[in-house]
Chains A and B, each alone.
Chain A
């Protein structure tokens, strides 16, 4: 992950938001989608992705569907209703955070 410390706190929000836009996704697909959207700038490792997915699942924000894919099993993740609400809340929090950071690091060119 590019500058992992900065992204670490937002990983769950990134996952929730991706699932909001893509209905259901599996682990590898999420890593590739993030890589594609950020032009390779942000690479989510398996070590960071799966614990985050399992945590969101345990908290009831994600539902899983295990399907037979070719010769193996594939676990798809999708948002629950609770997850959709959580995504909105986290996006609002993240936007607030970005706004405040912009004010702090560059007061002249802040959003307001």
Chain B
């Protein structure tokens, strides 16, 4: 016999209280545990009964707790690495797109002319644009996490953009960007690359946003 909605919610709630925040990992664990209970426990109502000091369900979950935690952390980390690899591949693919390649090459050539013309202002303006673009991307993705929910892949996009924002702000420290020692080709090109990387990551996210929404629509409702 299938577990009731309340019983499923108790499993889900238990995992949530353990700190399993990513719904795309959690729901698969819920299904695994629920199937295990359905296959091995005869009286589900008795199993989930709350009025005892130590209910059978709680005992069952506590016995599994360490394995579940280990499993969740492992899955969470590995999924981040898979997502990172996937996003890197998507961004690389976008760069190899003819139109994007033309835009990048054209911008890069123009940018080198600006560096030759006045490196000081080019570095300052590029660094500020880079911090602003990265900052907005981070905010945008943070908003998406609120809309789409705590799905690991959305979080992975957010982590990447957040990391790029960190780089944009601290290499070199944005508050010291006016200092002459920061006015060099490396800093200028570094921020130029950051802007493009950020834009490409966000474009890729927007492209796949509906796919994530559709895939996890049952979990989000």
Contact = CB atoms under 8 A, between A and B. Distances in A.
A73 B71 contact: no
B86 A27 contact: no
Contacts of A54: 75, 78-79, 82
Given A28-B36, A54-B82, A70-B3, A46 B219 contact: no
Given A70-B3, A71-B3, A27 B34 contact: no
Interface size band for B: 20 to 34
A52 to B, nearest CB: 9
Interface in A39-95: 45-47, 50-51, 54-55, 57-58, 66, 68-75
Given A46-B29, A47-B74, A51-B74, A70 B2 contact: yes
Given A54-B78, A54-B79, A66 B31 contact: no
Contacts of A47: 67, 70-71, 74
Contacts of A58: 82-83, 85-86
A13 B5 CA distance: 36
A46 B82 contact: no
Contact of B8 (A27, A55, A71, A75): A71
Interface in B28-50: 28-32, 34-36, 39
A50 B82 CA distance: 13
Contacts of A57: 82
Which of B27, B35, B67, B85 has most A Cβ within 10 Å? B35
A72 B71 contact: no
A50 B31 contact: no
Interface in B6-63: 7-8, 27-32, 34-36, 39
Given A46-B67, A54-B75, A69 B28 contact: no
A69 B29 CA distance: 14
22 contacts: A26-B31, A27-B28, A28-B35, A29-B35, A32-B39, A45-B67, A46-B32, A46-B67, A50-B28, A51-B75, A54-B82, A55-B82, A58-B82, A58-B85, A70-B8, A71-B3, A71-B7, A72-B30, A72-B31, A72-B34, A73-B31, A75-B31
Interface of B: 2-5, 7-8, 27-32, 34-36, 39, 67-68, 70-71, 74-75, 78-79, 82-83, 85-86, 215-216, 218-219
Interface of A: 26-29, 32, 45-47, 50-51, 54-55, 57-58, 66, 68-75
